Amino acid sequence: MSSKKPIYTMLSTGGVYHKNKSDTPTGTYHIQPERGDNFYNHKLNEGAKYYVSWKDHEVYLFHSVPTKSDGSIDKKEAKKLGKSQGSHGCIRLSIPDSKWLATTVPVGTKVVIKNN
């Protein structure tokens, strides 16, 4: 958003719900300095392309749909994009959208996560 005007919209998928509460924290945050082209989390057995931190310095991220250990897209999880919950708290985006965010949005940009 720029003032009240949207400058870019995208499909996303947030955290899985447990007892009517999402794993994605709600509130107002700001883009943090941590970002990169890809990562892999051995504990969760998944990774992603193009990430940007928005809470707790690399704990909560905007990133692409999940990737497998070989870097390929997890097609089952990718099909959830914009349709259902799926993450452990991060915000999943398409690969082009996650790349746009990682290369365009500056540190300090306000992020508002709402539970509608």
Q: Which two tokens stand for residue 35?
A: 């970002």
Q: Which residues contact 75 (CB under 8 A, 6 or more apart)?
A: none
Q: Give yes or no: 57 in active site.
A: no
CB-based contact 66:48 (threshold 8 Å): yes
Strands 60-64, 91-93: pairing kind: parallel
Phi, psi of 56 (to 5 degrees): 60, 30
Q: Give yes or no: 18 in active site.
A: no
Please tell me which residue in 18, 30, 42, 63 is annotated as part of the active site.
63
Residues with active-site annotation: 63, 90
